[in-house]
Amino acid sequence: MASDRITSADEPRSFLATPSYLRLWFAGGIGNAMRWLELLVAGIFTWEVTQSTVLVALITVARSLPMLFIGTIAGVVGEVLNRKRLLVIQLLVMAASSAVLCALAFSAQIRVWHIALAGIVAGIVWAMELAVRRRMIGEVVTPDQVGPAVAFDSLTNSFARVLGPLAGGAAYQTLGLGGAYVMSATLYFAAGVTIGGLEFRQEPRRLRFGRIAIDIAEAVAARANPAIFAVVLVSIIMNMFAFSYSALIAPIGLDVYRVSSTLVGALAAAEPLGAIAVGIPLSTGWLRLNGRRALLRGSLLFLVALATMALSPWYSIAFVLLLVGGLGTAAFSNMQTTLILTEAPLATRSRVMGIVTMCIGTGPVGVMMIGVLSGQVGPATAILIMAGLGLCGLSLVWRKLIKM
């Protein structure tokens, strides 16, 4: 347990007086910004070299697929090993990976398979995000501050999703691929140093490989809670059918709307900009969400906005629709973490986070689907089909939760 946990929560933003929270917040903001920066520049580079939407989708898959296969194991590891040490290692590994890509880019030896391999490394690291850093947020603030603290962290991640693609598009256009990775390596290293000074106490346990299956089974049993069940199912739907649209941002921006790399970055930033509009009142306590209902309604809003965006022939309207959809993703992302931190038993919390990570890891299935569809019917129609499937799935979940 962190040594500087707040003892009073009289003020809505009192969690910001916790040094440990601020360090975790900074590392999360940097990590998420660089994640989206790298995703954008990798997509642009792959598209320019290959002109293949399938390969662009595969690059995105490489970053997400490890979450599907090792998400549950990451939850077990985050439960028993020292979470601070794990987080420092994660950030330094990402810094090293970006530095290698930077060197390859400046020497003109970089290839698409290098980008894909680095994406797999990133996917392994990001499989630990919920079970380690997000879990730690719930440990360094008082229980009644978990909601606002998570909302502020989610708000920051929304800013990161804006700044990351914008910085990536601008850096790629002005400095090239190598310049983008210089920025990434430097900031990852700074985040790692920041977490190194974190005051955090935890009683780690020995990792028993023979018990991994049992530990995972105990976490799966937590799905009997309707709120956790909702998070699991909606996370699958959103990551498979909704967020897969991001894999086609580069092709739809460059080929359909015929805009510059900078405007492609702006299109990628539209949805998180909308999330910021809701994230600010959530993090200050001015707005409170109603658990499962907010999770479902926010997801519904984004899927409707995404389907409508796919029908737009104009860049400006597509930007506005994604902006509106971001209002829904703010509710989804905030409730996805808050419901687990407030509903899951403390003894299995990281393991339940690992289950949710595995659900997020279903995203590559959607990316492959949308990539293949795009090759057959074009990026806009592919997004429309996937959003429609997501709406069908969400309606089924809604009916199931009503029965529960």
> pLDDT digit string (tens) for 231-243?
889 999 999 999 9
Give me 22's structure tokens.
Answer: 């601020």
Q: Once rounded to an integer, what is the mean pLDDT over residues 352-356?
A: 82
Give pTM, 2 decimals.
0.71
Identity of residue 173: Q
Q: Once rounded to an integer, what is the mean pLDDT over residues 5-29?
A: 72
CATH of the domain at 273: 1.20.1250.20
Q: Residue 13: pLDDT above 70?
A: no
Q: Residue 217: pLDDT above 80?
A: no
Do 339 and 238 touch, CB atoms closer than 8 A?
no
Q: What is the pLDDT of residue 403?
A: 58
C-alpha neighbours within 13 Å on the C-beta side of residue 309:
35
Do 361 and 68 touch, CB atoms closer than 8 A?
yes
Q: Which among 49, 186, 74, 93 is positioned nearest to 133, based on CA atoms?
A: 74
Nearest-angstrom CA–CA distance, 31 and 192: 10
Do 288 and 148 touch, CB atoms closer than 8 A?
no
Do 386 and 237 touch, CB atoms closer than 8 A?
no
Give me 3's structure tokens.
Answer: 């040594």
Of 156-160, 253-257, 345-349, least confident by mean pLDDT is 345-349
Confidence grade of residue 206 (pLDDT, cut at 50, 70, 90): low
Q: What is the pLDDT of residue 1?
A: 41
Q: Residue 7: pLDDT above 60?
A: no
Q: Once rounded to an integer, what is the mean pLDDT over residues 278-290?
A: 73
- Its sign, for the CA torsion 229, 234, 237, 240, is negative
Domain-located, residue 5:
no
Confidence grade of residue 218 (pLDDT, cut at 50, 70, 90): low
Rg (CA), the chain: 20
Confidence grade of residue 249 (pLDDT, cut at 50, 70, 90): confident
Nearest-angstrom CA–CA distance, 294 and 297: 5
Domain-located, residue 370:
yes
Share of the chain above pLDDT 90, in %: 25
Domain-located, residue 312:
yes
Q: What is the pLDDT of residue 2?
A: 43
Q: Residue 397: pLDDT above 80?
A: yes
Of 137-151, 202-216, 227-241, 359-373, least confident by mean pLDDT is 202-216
Identity of residue 189: F
Mean pLDDT of the chain: 82
Q: Which among 149, 190, 141 is positioned nearest to 33, based on CA atoms?
A: 190
Do 328 and 305 touch, CB atoms closer than 8 A?
yes
Nearest-angstrom CA–CA distance, 185 and 94: 7
- Secondary structure (DSSP) of 369-398: HHHHHHHHH-HHHHHHHHHHHHHHHHHHHH
Q: Once rounded to an integer, what is the mean pLDDT over residues 89-94?
A: 94
Give me 226's structure tokens.
Answer: 């309707």
Q: What is the pLDDT of residue 182?
A: 92
* Domains held by the chain: number: 1
Q: Once rounded to an integer, what is the mean pLDDT over residues 13-38?
A: 87
Residue environment code for 23-38, b if the CB has 16+ CB neighbours within 10 A, otherwise e:
bbbebbbbbbbbbbbb
Q: Residue 12: pLDDT above 60?
A: no
Would you give the end-to-end CA distance of the chain in angstroms? 35
Q: What is the pLDDT of residue 4?
A: 44
Confidence grade of residue 211 (pLDDT, cut at 50, 70, 90): low
Nearest-angstrom CA–CA distance, 152 and 148: 6
Q: Which among 87, 141, 129 is positioned nearest to 283, based on CA atoms?
A: 141
Q: What is the pLDDT of residue 6?
A: 39
Q: Which among 278, 287, 269 is positioned nearest to 332, based on CA atoms?
A: 278
Q: What is the pLDDT of residue 9?
A: 40
Q: Which among 370, 372, 368 is positioned nearest to 64, based on CA atoms?
A: 368
Of 8-12, 55-59, 90-94, 309-313, least confident by mean pLDDT is 8-12
Domain-located, residue 207:
no
Domain-located, residue 210:
no
Bigger pLDDT: 293 vs 317: 317
- Its sign, for the CA torsion 327, 328, 330, 331, is positive
Q: Could you tell me which residues come within 8 angstroms of residue 60 by beta carbon, excluding any fewer than 6 positions away?
A: 39, 42, 43, 119, 246, 247, 364, 367
Domain-located, residue 176:
yes
Domain-located, residue 52:
yes
Identity of residue 54: V
Q: Which domain holds residue 290?
A: 15-201+220-403
Domain-located, residue 280:
yes
Nearest-angstrom CA–CA distance, 284 and 273: 17
